Amino acid sequence: MSATATLSSKFQISIPKSVREEQHWKAGQEFVFIPKGQGVLVMPVPKWKALAGIAKGAKSVDYRDRSDRF
């Protein structure tokens, strides 16, 4: 799939219909922008209900933290 969009003078971009339909994105949906080199990754922000149980079985003690990395 190849779709393009143009940045407006108000710094807005319209997401092409083909992309919206393929991803099932709806009006009012919230997105996060993640810088990746010269580009940006656009991802929908998940609903809290979708995250329920995602860490089921995760250890709550003796886990690695950012403080123990280089």
Does the global pTM surpass 0.75? no
Structural domains of the chain, with CATH: 1-47 (2.10.260)
pLDDT of residue 59: 74
pLDDT of residue 70: 62
CA dihedral 34, 36, 40, 45 (to 10 degrees): -20
List per-residue pLDDT tens for the chain, 70 residues long. 578 999 999 999 999 999 999 999 999 999 999 999 999 999 999 887 877 787 787 777 777 777 776 6
pLDDT of residue 5: 93
d(Cα 11, Cα 20) in Å, to the nearest integer?
19
